[in-house]
Chains A and B, each alone.
Chain A
């Protein structure tokens, strides 16, 4: 599966548009991470526990989007976008969406 955030894939032509695919996940913060983050708020710096949590959640959202695309029989997803929203106290929603397509490699694609 080729996954890009451009509208086209260089070296490929889009044969068929299968439609919008999406994936989301809502994650709650971990209490232990909150304590560590509270300490970090004193001296500043990266909240690596939260970075990890968001990265993991985003990967999950992308995974779900990929599953949908596979079910549609697509071999690529183009024009991917990500959004994040605050649903309720202490929880974050990660959402990924894109267009599932079937692409063919152009004969002149590789020089």
Chain B
């Protein structure tokens, strides 16, 4: 009936929303990540199985953090175009960065709750069960961070 209107509704609006709101939200998230990482800077994080002075540990417990995060419509389209010519996919790199840092921070906040000063043997796992099994093609990623919180 109104092909221009349909086009506007289903392509231009999502693109504009993705570009504008998506970018704003991403910038806010990065700012929040920076702030919280400074807050947790006093907790030593290592992927060593055993950190320093294991004989002087009072208690140890599993801590974990998890996040599922999606990219915006604009970046999904930009990535689809990038696939045609190959090369570095910047838009998805920031997605992975956000997810990993967020998951680590959630793990750290669990560690802080039990009074830990270190987290040993940190592992990061990512999967994309939800995007692999869903009908919509927008990229999303699940990141799970876990480690052993050490209370001295």
Q: Which 7 A-B pairs have the closest CB atoms?
A: A44-B72, A10-B57, A41-B138, A50-B68, A10-B54, A92-B129, A44-B22
The answer to whether B148 and A4 have CB atoms under 8 Å apart is yes
User: In this assembly, does B83 line the interface, its C-beta being within 8 Å of a C-beta of chain A?
Assistant: no
The answer to whether A47 and B140 have CB atoms under 8 Å apart is yes
Among candidates A29, A34, A46, residue contacting B69 with C-beta atoms closer than 8 Å? A46
The answer to whether B144 and A41 have CB atoms under 8 Å apart is no
CB-CB under 8 A for A44 and B75, given A11-B57, A86-B129: yes
Q: Which of B's residues lie within 8 Å of A, judged by CB?
A: 14, 17-18, 21-22, 25-26, 29, 49-50, 54-62, 64, 66-73, 75-76, 95, 102, 120-121, 123, 125, 127, 129-130, 132-134, 136, 138, 140, 142, 144, 146-148, 150
Q: Which of A's residues lie within 8 Å of B, judged by CB?
A: 2-11, 29, 34, 37-38, 40-48, 50-51, 54-55, 58, 80-86, 88-92, 106, 108-111
Chain A residue with Cβ nearest B140 = A47
Which residues of the partner chain B approach A86 to less than 8 Å between Cβ atoms? 127, 129, 132-133
The docked-state distance in angstroms from the alpha carbon of A51 to that of B64 is 13
Among candidates A5, A37, A46, residue contacting B67 with C-beta atoms closer than 8 Å? A46
Q: Knowing that A37-B70, A50-B130 are A-B contacts, what are 6 other residue pairs whose CB atoms are under 8 Å apart, sorted by A's residue number?
A: A4-B148, A10-B54, A10-B150, A42-B21, A45-B22, A86-B129
